[in-house]
C-alpha cells in the first residue's frame, strides 16, 4: 500500500460523508494540483452517491478548464450554500481557502482537509489528513484510490495526473520518487494521456503572454552576489498586453533557473496588496519559512504570500530586503561572490 494508515482514515472519512451534502474547496489562485484534487475528490464522492460540488474563491485557470469535464464547479460569487459541509484539498490553512468564501458560505469552518504542505495548520474541525512527504495532493488521492480499490475512471485519472505533473515540474523536482512514477503509471493505465495533458497545460499560450513575460524579465535583477533573483510585473502590464494575473503564474521559474540562484522572488500588484511567488533551488533555502515572514506559506521549495495593503512600487524594495535577509540567515556560513 502507498499510504496504509492514511488510506484507512480516508476510507473512514468517505463513510462519514455518506448522507451529507459536500462542497470541495480549493485554494486561492488555484494551480494544477488544486484543480486536479478538487475534480478527483468531487467525482470520488459523486460515484459513492454523495451530493458534491467544487467551489473556489477564484475561477479555474484557462489552461486547466479542459480537465474539469462535467464536474460541478462554482466560483464563490455563483455559489449559495444550501446546507453543504466543506472538505478542502491542497490548502495549508484557512487563509488559503479565501476569507470571503469562508465568511459568506462556511462560517462553521472546514469539516475535513487533505493536503501535502509542510506548513499545514491542521485547521479542519473533524479530520486532517496531511502527508508532507507526498509530492502533490493528487498523489495522495491517487494513492488512496489504489490502496482502497476505488475505481479510477479516465476523468479522475487525468485530473490526478495533472496535479502530480504540475506540482513536480513535470517530474523534475526532488519530491519525485519511484512510488510516484508507479502511481503515475497506474493513472496512465486508467486513461490519463501525458501527451494531451502536456499540450493543454503548456502549449495553449496567448501571444500577449509573451509580451507580458518580456516586460517581467525586463525588471529582473540579482541580489546577494547572484544568489537571489527578483523581478516584478509592472502595474500597467496586464492591461497593456491584454492578459490576466493567471498568465503570470510560474514566471518565477525563469528566475529560479539562473545559475547560482538559491531564492527567486516574483512580485505583482493584486487587488488587495502585493502578491509574491517564491522558489528555492535547494531545501536549505526553506522558502516556506520565508513566506511565513510575509504572511504566506507553502512548500519547502515553492511558496507564496499576499501582503494586504502593500504597494508594489512603494514596498518592493522592503520585500526584497526581507528575502535577502532570509538568504543570509539560511546560508550564514556560505561565502558569497562579489
Return mean pLDDT, the chain.
95
**Which of the four pLDDT bands, split at 50, 70 and 90, describes residue 334?**
low
Element (H, E) at 41: helix 32-47
Model confidence at 204, pLDDT cuts 50, 70, 90, reads: confident
- Tell me the backbone φ, ψ of residue 79, rounded to 5 degrees: -110, 130
pLDDT tens-digit readout, 84-129: 999 999 999 998 999 999 999 999 999 999 999 988 999 999 999 9
pLDDT at residue number 338: 33
Determine what percent of the chain is predicted with pLDDT higher than 90: 87
Distance (Å, rounded) from C-alpha 264 to C-alpha 271? 23
CA contacts within 13 A on the Cβ side of 10:
27
In angstroms, the CA 216 to CA 241 distance is 12
The predicted-structure confidence for 21-71, as pLDDT tens digits, reads as follows 999 999 998 999 999 999 999 999 999 999 999 999 999 998 999 999 999
DSSP output for 155-186: HHHHHHHHHHHHHTTTTTSTT--HHHHHHHHH
pLDDT above 90: residue 279: yes
Angle separating helix axes 32-47 and 137-148, nearest 10 degrees: 30
Asked if residue 291 lies in contact with residue 304, where contact means CB atoms within 8 angstroms, the answer is yes
- Residue 335: pLDDT over 80: no
pLDDT tens per residue, range 156-174: 999 999 999 999 989 988 8
Say if residue 307's pLDDT is above 60.
yes
How does DSSP classify residue 133?
T
- Find out whether 301 and 285 touch, Cβ atoms under 8 Å: yes
Residue 139 is placed in which grid cell? 498523489
Listed in sequence order, the residues at least 6 apart from 128 whose beta carbon sits closer than 8 Å to its beta carbon are: 112, 113, 115, 120, 122
Average pLDDT over residues 204-227: 96
The average pLDDT across 180-185 equals: 98
pLDDT at position 333 is 66
Amino acid at each position: 500500500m502507498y499510504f496504509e494508515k492514511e488510506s484507512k482514515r480516508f476510507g473512514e472519512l468517505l463513510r462519514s460523508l455518506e448522507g451529507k451534502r459536500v462542497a470541495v474547496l480549493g485554494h486561492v489562485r488555484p494551480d494544477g494540483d488544486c484543480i486536479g484534487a478538487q475534480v478527483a475528490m468531487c467525482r470520488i464522492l459523486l460515484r459513492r452517491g454523495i451530493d458534491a460540488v467544487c467551489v473556489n474563491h477564484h475561477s479555474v485557470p484557462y489552461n486547466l478548464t479542459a480537465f474539469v469535464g462535467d464536474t460541478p464547479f462554482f466560483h464563490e460569487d455563483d455559489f449559495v450554500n444550501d446546507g453543504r459541509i466543506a472538505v478542502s484539498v491542497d490548502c495549508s490553512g484557512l487563509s488559503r481557502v479565501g476569507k470571503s468564501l469562508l465568511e459568506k458560505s462556511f462560517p462553521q469552518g472546514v469539516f475535513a482537509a487533505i493536503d501535502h504542505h509542510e506548513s499545514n495548520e491542521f485547521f479542519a474541525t473533524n479530520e486532517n489528513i496531511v502527508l508532507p512527504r507526498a509530492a502533490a495532493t493528487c498523489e495522495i488521492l491517487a494513492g488512496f484510490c489504489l490502496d482502497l480499490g476505488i475505481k479510477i475512471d479516465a476523468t479522475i485519472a487525468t485530473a490526478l495526473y495533472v496535479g502530480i505533473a504540475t506540482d513536480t515540474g513535470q517530474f523534475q523536482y526532488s519530491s519525485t520518487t519511484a512510488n510516484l512514477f508507479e502511481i503515475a503509471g497506474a493513472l496512465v493505465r486508467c486513461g490519463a494521456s501525458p501527451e494531451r495533458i502536456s499540450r493543454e497545460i503548456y502549449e495553449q499560450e496567448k501571444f500577449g503572454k509573451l509580451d507580458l513575460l518580456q516586460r517581467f524579465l525586463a525588471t529582473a535583477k540579482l541580489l546577494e552576489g547572484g544568489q537571489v533573483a527578483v523581478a516584478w510585473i509592472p502595474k500597467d502590464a496586464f492591461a497593456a498586453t491584454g492578459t490576466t494575473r493567471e498568465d503570470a503564474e510560474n514566471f518565477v521559474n525563469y528566475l529560479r533557473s539562473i545559475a547560482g540562484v538559491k531564492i527567486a522572488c516574483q512580485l505583482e500588484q493584486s487587488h488587495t496588496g502585493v502578491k509574491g511567488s517564491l522558489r528555492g533551488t535547494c531545501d536549505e533555502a526553506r522558502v516556506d519559512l520565508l513566506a511565513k515572514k510575509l504572511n504566506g506559506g507553502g512548500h519547502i521549495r515553492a511558496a507564496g504570500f499576499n501582503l494586504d495593503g502593500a504597494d508594489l512600487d512603494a514596498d518592493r524594495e522592503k520585500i526584497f530586503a526581507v528575502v535577502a535577509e532570509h538568504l543570509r540567515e539560511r546560508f550564514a556560513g556560505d561565502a558569497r561572490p562579489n
